Amino acid sequence: MGGNSVLYDKIIKGRSIKKDYKEVALTGYVKHKLRTVKTSQFFLKEGPLAILPFSKNYFSFVWSINKDFYENNSKKINNLAKSKIKNILKIKKNIQITNTQSYPLKLNLKTKYFNKNLLILGEGLHTIHPIAGQGFNLVLRDIKKLKEILKYYSQLGISFKNSFALDDFYAQRKIENIVFGLGVDVTHAFFKQNKYLDPFKEMILKNISKNNVVKKISKIISNQGLSI
């Protein structure tokens, strides 16, 4: 049911780690005729714009922008996105943007996952900023772990109702979900424009991009999580 259902508060009573980024993610599909488009992210002054190819002539984009900027430009936001994309990819011809949608961006990390035999899964457990493209990865890792735990109890012949399956799931997933959620929050803060800190950030990023070990570790963590 996504991240915003009121049902979750009825299932679990407990505080969660919350933050309103006061940003909106504008998403859409772009049809193009370029030979190759690589998955990439551009840190524009209005906010990060990710390009995510999904077939030969299409890519999707995610542009995270300040809520006020979005509201002040809502009528021309698609055209603004179009000209930014044309500019960064050096496209001269017209491009088509379709399926545009917008999402308010929030951080919400639950500190309780279940009540009796009712478990929350997906965005309901952790809503994070899309800057690192990790939200659904966390959900998939949750599902993989839940499958392993349920298999373990069913092989012992213990009914799920009488098992510690949900306690085990909570214990084994909570730390990674919180560390990732907060890590993405720090990443978002790091990439926010700041005219005093930007020269230092550039230096740090240049050093990271030269360091193959750091790049390799960050790729492994993004792809496989912390329980590698």
Give the binding site for ligand FAD (CB under 6 A): 1-2, 5, 25, 27, 62, 103, 122-123, 130, 133-137, 139
Q: Which is nearer to ligand FAD, 43 or 103 (CB)?
A: 103
> Minimum CB separation from ligand FAD for residue 7, in Å?
8
**Rounded CA gap, 165 and 150, in Å?**
7
Q: Which is nearer to ligand FAD, 32 or 126 (CB)?
A: 126
Which of 108, 25, 30, 27 is closest to 69 using CA atoms?
25
> Minimum CB separation from ligand FAD for residue 123, in Å?
4
Q: Which is nearer to ligand FAD, 101 or 212 (CB)?
A: 101
Residue nearest to ligand FAD (CB): 122
> Minimum CB separation from ligand FAD for residue 59, in Å?
12
Neighbouring C-beta atoms of residue 184, cutoff 10 Å: 21
Residues ≥6 apart with Cβ < 8 Å to 19: 106, 107, 185
> Minimum CB separation from ligand FAD for residue 1, in Å?
4
Q: Which is nearer to ligand FAD, 163 or 187 (CB)?
A: 187
Neighbouring C-beta atoms of residue 185, cutoff 10 Å: 19
Q: Which is nearer to ligand FAD, 100 or 163 (CB)?
A: 100
**63-66: long-range contacts, CB 8 A cutoff, minimum separation 24:** 63/25, 63/26, 63/27, 64/23, 64/24, 64/25, 64/26, 64/105, 64/129, 64/130, 64/131, 65/23, 65/24, 65/25, 65/26, 66/22, 66/23, 66/24
> Minimum CB separation from ligand FAD for residue 58, in Å?
15
